[in-house]
Amino acid sequence: MNKPSNRSLLGLIVLVGLVTAGCASDAELDTLQPQSENAREIDDLLDSVLAIAGVIFVLVLGGVVYMSLRQRVKSYDGDDEFPQQITHNNTLEIGWTIVPAIIMVVVAVLTITTHLAINDTEANAVEVEVAGESMSWEPKVVVVGHQWWWEFRYYFSEDVDADMLGDPRDMPPADIVTSGQMIIPTGEEIELVVTSRDVIHSFWIPALNGKRDARPGFYADWEIAADDPGVYFGQCTEFCGLSHSRMRMQVVAMEGGDFQNWVDEQMGPAIDRIGADIAAGREAFVANCSSCHLVSGVNDDLYSGAAVESAAAPNLTHFASRTTFAGGILNTYNEDGTFNRDDMAAWLRAPEEIKDNAANDLPDGVLPRGMPNLGLSERTISDLVAYMESLGERPADWIIAATEVE
């Protein structure tokens, strides 16, 4: 009798250990540490429902334990008489019909209230200076899912809606296009318009809001906001193919002034810093990458949309201003702040080794769904790495440190 109970105790300890090992106070995708109004609404709903469920759990389980102890046969005396049967206690039956119904109504009211609150995506205008002129920006960012990366498109001049955007696979040119990282001003609600260019994805920054599916052919309204400057991690949460787990993203919230600087930098040409030393890199880019990746001012004429399922690849105009690449899984900068030449080279050398994408050996007529292996020479790779480093302003140190992915 003693041995099995020791074993079950040990089993319980191991189980609790394993379950709690999944908890971390600084986990990147933590829904329990909300950093925005909407995330707090969701967290409050979770807390309330958990409290109600907790009370029910204790009452029901307590009742079961109490009854089984109270009614148990203390010693068997050979009496096989059937216990007395009790039925049709009206008070009890009406009670246990009405009380759960009331509990469900309370939960429903809490849920619907939260649902309405987080789906109210009306945001206040944000003052932004665009091309030297101050404007009142109705803050909207178009979020586009692709296998396996996120694109963020900013339009400053127009009223962004489904009519204006048209077909998600053929949207009008945006003022700023970035990938992997969405930059927002701190303390402002930013409306999102979420869509996809290939399959269904789901956009989720747990600290800032719940999930919203990105569906091809549709535009879904959503919102994002952050109380404080910082970096907030996210992950695609709808299974979308081989590299679904490697489709990550970040929201970087900056103070107004920093956001303005970012806008200025992104609106300007990225090619300012090109000197003679990277001419070879630019040539290599134009020769090998032009038909899929756009660097504004460099290959506008040659760019034709990528030959992949989504017909798009990340816009690289301000590549070096982003701190991650390859769908948010590789760091653009090393811990010491230097450009991460090693990972950049490895990605160009054999992207399929870093991220499953089935880009090679596809049957005829089937388009690849990720960066293909272009069979580049080591010389070309090193020229391209130098060129990528030159595209755009290096971000602030705190962003490089905070955005580091493992």
Per CB under 6 A, residues contacting ligand CUA are 145, 148, 201, 236, 238-240, 244, 247
Least spacing, CB of residue 222 vs ligand CUA, in Å? 15
Q: What are the tokens at 307?
A: 């030959």
Least spacing, CB of residue 194 vs ligand CUA, in Å? 12
Nearest CB to ligand CUA, comparing residues 351 and 395: 351
Least spacing, CB of residue 239 vs ligand CUA, in Å? 6
Least spacing, CB of residue 404 vs ligand CUA, in Å? 22
Nearest CB to ligand CUA, comparing residues 178 and 243: 243
Give 10's Cβ-side CA count (13 Å radius): 6
Nearest CB to ligand CUA, comparing residues 152 and 259: 152
Q: What are the tokens at 279?
A: 């001419």
CA torsion 294→284→348→359, rounded to 10°? Answer: 70
Least spacing, CB of residue 195 vs ligand CUA, in Å? 13
Least spacing, CB of residue 149 vs ligand CUA, in Å? 9
Nearest CB to ligand CUA, comparing residues 151 and 189: 151
Nearest CB to ligand CUA, comparing residues 145 and 314: 145
Q: What are the tokens at 255?
A: 């103070």
Least spacing, CB of residue 280 vs ligand CUA, in Å? 35
Nearest CB to ligand CUA, comparing residues 207 and 249: 249
Nearest CB to ligand CUA, comparing residues 254 and 313: 313
